[in-house]
A and B are shown apart, each in its own frame.
Chain A
Amino acid sequence: MPTSFHLLADAPAQLLPARELMAFTLASHIILVPLGVAFPFITLVMHYRGLRRKDATALLLARRWSAVMAVQFALGIVTGTVLSFEFGLLWPGLMGRWGDVFGIGFGVEAWAFFLEAVLIAIYLYGWRRLKPRTHFLLGLPLPFAALLGAFGILAANSWMNTPQGFSLDSEGNPVDVNVWKAIFTPMFGPQYWHFVVAMIITAGFVVAGVYAVGWLRGRRDHYHRLGFAVPFTIAAVATPVQFVLGDSIARSVFHKQPVKFAAMEIVWETDTRVPEYLFGRLNEDGTVSGGLKIPLLDSVLAGFSPDTKVVGLTSVPADQRPTATQATIAHWAFDIMVLIGSVLVLLALWYGLVWLRHRRLPASKWFYRSAACAGVASVVAVESGWIATEVGRQPWIVYQNMRVAEAVTSTRSTTLWIMLAVVMVVYVFLFGSFLAILLKMRTRWRLADEQRATGGPSPHAPETDTPYGPRAPVPAGDAPAADGGAAGAEGGRR
């Protein structure tokens, strides 16, 4: 019997649905993360430009982006709350035994979100009355709050990859917790910076992609040029940086989590002069089918020399390493991420060269087609990177200390399957509505711009109709309006 079947037979029935549920909710949440972490930064850059150059279009863009930011932040909070419930509902074993060792990062994260929610409210509602300078300055802490939030999450995840900061007593329970060590684990630094830069790149390319599509459809005014150039430049500058960081995190994995590295590179036997496989499939017997084999390259990449010894999957017993299927998944995810990253570097170079030589945006249609795809591609890269790190860690939830199977809930698997179905339906509704709202906002903005261009009257600023934007005035005759002196709704209820 192949090993993977054997292992699956041993696993509790809850494992599969719990895994699928966690994977589904996390994969959905991750789509919102780049916007949450890096979008405030990009918006503030645009805002700064608008103030500095007295550019009304830049300010308009920043203002509209702040409305998008608020909608996605609200959705992110909702899906994030689901995740924190799932820690308890799906992995009570993990939280019960290790919660006090690695949970502290979440404490930082919860407060960071608090701060972010307050700051977003101020930023969003401040457009009307605050002095421009004050308003901008009050928005400035937003990216830092976002970085702080990411700090907490990444501290927890990197601890699961390279757990430390505790010792085990005779019953195998963690004691002598050292919080400092548990936060700053060996993988923390590499994971954190790789993540932050990935978020900047993704947010930049996604936002720029929207305007690239507009450019392709013939909208080539200042508004679209600016909306494209600022986020794209930020992403393009970050892309080569990410190339270096990505290389460094791969090497950290090689040193700190050799078995995961072996899975990501489908290395079977520990050896020197190991070839690199691009894609391909690892079989149960250690052979590789398909894929492109490049001799010596894996050793060279791992340690700059063909004589570098790379640890293989067989270095640990079969029940302590990813199965052949899992290794193949991690390998593909890793390769897809690297491939996309490399293509994005080329795109950034194209942009940079045109800029250096001509001091203008590229004019080629193919550039904008690629740019439009870059947003989607970078989201795919983020998902792939996450799959590579999570699947590559299998079967451990806490590397070498707790198996996923030990952490899973004892709730009946049928209940979990039903829950998965419910959550999938709800999330399709949720993300469908999110998309519909963004599209509707875009349509209203375009209408307003057209009306303004023709000099017609515009009923009111269209972005006021988003759920979190400055609220629309009361329709005439519907209800009496608040007079200018009345306090806004904000803090009154806190």
Chain B
Amino acid sequence: MTADLIAVVLLLAVAAYASAGGTDYGAGFWDLTAGGTERGKRPRWLIDHAMAPVWEVNNVWLIFVLVIMWTGFPTLFQTVFSAMWLPLALAAVGMVLRGAGFAFRKPSRRLAGRRLYGAVFAVASVVTPFFLGAAVGGVASGRVSPGTEASVDAWANPTSLMFGLIAIAATAFIGAVFLTGDARRFDATDLIGYFRRRSLISLAVLTLLAVITGFVTHEDSPYVWHGLTHGLGLLFVVVAGVAALATTWLLRRTPGAWMRVTAVGVVASAVIAWGMAQRPYLLPTSLTVADAAGAPATLTWLAIVTLVALVVVAPAVVLLYWLDTRGELEELTDAELRRGGGADGGGPPPGG
């Protein structure tokens, strides 16, 4: 019972990471494809501005996923990290390079430096979700069971390949949708159309990949395929489809906040559909939630810790939101600069 609850929390955390982290990876994808220095200048400017404040929080989601895994389901953690050694190691390296590339690109003034850091950031943004997706695909295909040694087959197989590609497409999609909204918020009118086109294209690619994955999993991952076409799994597949249609519709109109909600709906529902399809297994068809569950006392405490943390963290996030929408957390603006206020070289803040 508690184990099921923790499994749901784990799945939701994965969905949150896929949405929040995915947006960041997607920004990297569009950074990579933005073109040469001159042509890609404007999109890269937007990506820099939109991403800066959130990407650390997005990384924390992943840490939370890992913590729930090893505390709630130690066997799962041990098995996955043993069997998927190489893709996970590469994903970890990718994450470091990505964070470093992004963090260090902005302050470097010289073009060569910016290019180097930018390339590191962008390439790592594409490679990392691929390997994470491939690892998930290996699990979904049933190739991982307790005691599985690290092998190439575990992550280089049709399902893993498709999941890896889907991960890239999904991050590109959600990233483009968010950037469309950011373009509007920063009043970069030309970039609205730019990212809107890319949102629609990537959604089309994502849909195509999803259909191909359907055929591949039918042969390669029968358990998950069955789950995705029946019951709750099917329900969330349908929700993802409806959300995708809604996003398409919203994208064709003036970009607003709702298209972000529906885009998150697409990605999160897809993740949840996968989780539901695996029920009652964490590793189909060898390790169930009940078998993998850690000590009952720990699970209870994990639930309590999660609850307490929600009570503490949720208001902080809401506060951040609230301050932000009221314009209390404001960067320096051109208008203020012209007035001269606040541009005094880091003097006391206004009213301070």
Contacts and interface: CB of A to CB of B under 8 A. Distances in A.
Given A101-B298, A465-B107, A489-B182, A128 B331 contact: yes
A258 interface: no
Contacts of A118: 57, 313, 316-317, 319-320
A107 to B, nearest CB: 5
Interface stretch (A78-86, A234-242, A362-370): A78-86
A91 to B, nearest CB: 9
Contacts of A485: 327
A430 B100 contact: yes
Interface in A323-340: none
Contacts of A12: none
A433 B103 CA distance: 9
Contacts of A87: 66, 70, 81
Contact of B45 (A98, A458, A460, A479): A479
A100 B298 contact: yes
A63 B295 contact: no
A100 B328 contact: no
A121 B185 contact: no
Contact of A130 (B42, B309, B328, B331): B328
Interface string B217-231: 000000000000000
Given A103-B70, A462-B346, A483-B187, A410 B82 contact: yes
A464 B106 CA distance: 11
Among A97, A104, A409, residue most surrounded by chain B Cβ atoms (within 10 Å): A104
A131 B56 CA distance: 26
A420 to B, nearest CB: 11
B5 interface: no
Interface string A95-122: 1111111011011111101110111111
A467 B41 CA distance: 17
A128 B68 CA distance: 38
B59 A78 contact: yes
A354 interface: no
A103 B298 CA distance: 9
A437 B77 contact: no
Contact of A104 (B80, B185, B188, B301): B301
B208 interface: no
A440 B108 CA distance: 9
Contacts of A126: 323, 328-329
Interface of A is mostly: helix
B77 A467 contact: no
B332 interface: yes
A218 interface: no
Contacts, number: 379
Interface in A384-440: 409-411, 415, 419, 422-423, 426, 429-430, 433, 436-437, 440
A74 B187 CA distance: 28
B331 A88 contact: no
Interface residues of B, number: 106
Interface string A434-460: 001100110001001101100000111
A182 B189 CA distance: 57
B294 interface: yes
B36 interface: no
Among A51, A71, A175, A461, residue most surrounded by chain B Cβ atoms (within 10 Å): A461
B215 to A, nearest CB: 32
Given A125-B331, A179-B298, A467-B103, A492 B77 contact: no
Contacts of B86: 415
Contact of A487 (B295, B302, B327): B327
A453 B224 CA distance: 68
Given A89-B89, A107-B306, A494-B20, A99 B325 contact: no
A122 B70 contact: no
A490 B351 CA distance: 23
Given A88-B77, A128-B350, A488 B327 contact: yes
A56 B347 contact: yes
B92 A483 contact: no
Given A56-B347, A465-B107, A81 B331 contact: no
A491 B320 contact: yes
Given A104-B305, A121-B320, A458 B343 contact: yes
Given A114-B64, A409-B85, A470-B331, A60 B149 contact: no
B60 A458 contact: no
Contact of A452 (B46, B93, B345): B345
A437 B59 contact: no
A29 to B, nearest CB: 12
A291 interface: no
Interface string A289-308: 00000000000000000000
B324 A487 contact: yes
Nearest to B293: A100
A482 B343 CA distance: 16
B150 interface: yes
A131 B185 CA distance: 24
Among A101, A451, A493, residue most surrounded by chain B Cβ atoms (within 10 Å): A493
A478 interface: yes
A92 B85 CA distance: 10
Interface of A: 50-51, 56, 59-60, 63-64, 71, 73-75, 77-82, 84-89, 92-93, 95-101, 103-104, 106-111, 113-115, 117-122, 125-132, 135, 138, 166, 174-179, 409-411, 415, 419, 422-423, 426, 429-430, 433, 436-437, 440-441, 445, 448-449, 451-452, 458-468, 470-474, 476, 478-494
Interface of B: 20, 23, 41-42, 45-46, 49-50, 52-57, 59-60, 62-64, 66-68, 70-72, 74-75, 77-82, 85-86, 88-89, 91-93, 95-97, 99-100, 102-104, 106-107, 117, 149-150, 178, 181-182, 185-189, 260, 294-299, 301-302, 305-306, 309, 312-313, 316-317, 319-325, 327-337, 342-352
20 contacts: A75-B100, A81-B95, A82-B95, A89-B88, A98-B74, A99-B71, A107-B306, A115-B313, A118-B317, A126-B328, A177-B294, A409-B81, A410-B150, A415-B86, A430-B96, A451-B345, A458-B343, A465-B106, A483-B335, A484-B336
Nearest 8 pairs of A and B residues by beta carbon: A100-B294, A96-B78, A88-B81, A103-B71, A99-B74, A177-B295, A111-B309, A481-B334
